[in-house]
């Protein structure tokens, strides 16, 4: 039986969370909204519609959501050619693929943004598939993105491990029944990640790679539970 390593991308493999914060802050400012950057940071990882509802509430003029999201996309797009992957992000994916893990990215990014993120990671040879926001009706923290990634990998939840950096990632993995590993490089406190369902926490991809054998990846044997 295959094993699947499911990875969030923004803030997990690529150092983009604070770039998203700046882009959302400016997009919201242009639309007349003053939102503190720490609040935006906590919302990063949600799909655009859910993020705007989280920050502005259900009573906002939802007719302006598309324009705000488009402004964010344009602003974030100015960083595409210089997105920085975290140390050892690509090596982590290649190491897991070499050990027989099927690598699937589970991300809200799509189109040119996803292409830019994959260029930054520089490990396309290790990535088997991608579950993007375009493929699901509900984004994280709903289970659907993780469940779709499982479908693409062709494995049950017990044969997978999910790695992310936000509380939304942890909640989505927990709801899908997949063991959740959290990385601190996205800037979310460890206690929040553990409260949301993280079973183990590492500093960043390099730290996870260095301790891979003693991580949840070392606990899922080929064919376990088959």
pTM beyond 0.75, yes or no = yes
Of all residues in the chain, what percent carry a pLDDT higher than 90? Answer: 90
Residue 26: inside a domain, yes or no?
yes
The answer to whether 76 and 19 are in contact (CB under 8 A) is yes
Residue 116: inside a domain, yes or no?
yes
Tell me the CATH number at 94.
Answer: 3.40.50.1000
CA angle 195, 199, 203 (to 5 degrees): 90
| pLDDT tens column, 10-64 | 999 999 999 999 999 999 999 999 999 999 999 999 999 999 999 999 999 999 9
Range of the domain at 146: 3-15+83-218
Of all residues in the chain, what percent carry a pLDDT higher than 70? Answer: 97
Provide the pLDDT for residue 183.
98
Provide the mean pLDDT of the chain. 95
| pLDDT tens column, 88-109 | 999 999 999 999 999 999 998 8
Q: Are residues 129 and 74 in the same domain?
A: no
Q: Are residues 114 and 163 in the same domain?
A: yes
Identify the band that residue 110 occupies on the pLDDT scale cut at 50, 70 and 90.
Answer: confident
Identify the band that residue 131 occupies on the pLDDT scale cut at 50, 70 and 90.
Answer: very high
The answer to whether 168 and 197 are in contact (CB under 8 A) is no
Identify the band that residue 223 occupies on the pLDDT scale cut at 50, 70 and 90.
Answer: low
Tell me the CATH number at 66.
Answer: 1.10.150
* Higher per-residue confidence, 30 vs 137: 30
Residue 11: inside a domain, yes or no?
yes
Q: Are residues 65 and 116 in the same domain?
A: no
Provide the pLDDT for residue 108.
86
Q: How many domains does the chain have?
A: 2
């Amino acid at each position: 039986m295959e094993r699947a390593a499911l990875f969030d991308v923004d803030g997990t493999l690529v150092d983009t969370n604070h770039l998203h914060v700046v882009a959302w802050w400016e997009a919201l400012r242009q639309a007349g909204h003053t939102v503190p950057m720490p609040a935006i940071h906590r919302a990063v990882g949600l799909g655009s519609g859910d993020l705007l509802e989280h920050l502005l509430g259900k009573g906002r003029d939802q007719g302006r959501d598309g324009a705000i999201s488009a402004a964010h996309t344009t602003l974030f797009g100015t960083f595409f050619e210089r997105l920085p992957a975290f140390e050892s992000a690509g090596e982590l994916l290649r190491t897991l693929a070499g050990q027989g893990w099927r690598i699937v990215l589970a991300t809200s990014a799509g189109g040119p943004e996803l292409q830019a993120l994959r260029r930054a990671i520089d490990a396309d040879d290790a990535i088997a598939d991608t579950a993007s926001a375009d493929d699901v009706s509900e984004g994280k923290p709903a289970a659907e993105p993780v469940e779709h990634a499982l479908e693409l990998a062709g494995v049950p939840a017990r044969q997978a491990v999910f790695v992310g950096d936000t509380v939304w990632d942890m909640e989505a993995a927990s709801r899908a029944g997949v063991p959740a590993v959290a990385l601190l490089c996205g800037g979310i406190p460890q206690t929040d990640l553990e409260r949301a369902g993280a079973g183990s926490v590492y500093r960043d991809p390099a730290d996870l790679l260095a301790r891979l054998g003693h991580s949840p990846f070392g606990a899922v044997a080929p064919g376990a539970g088959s």
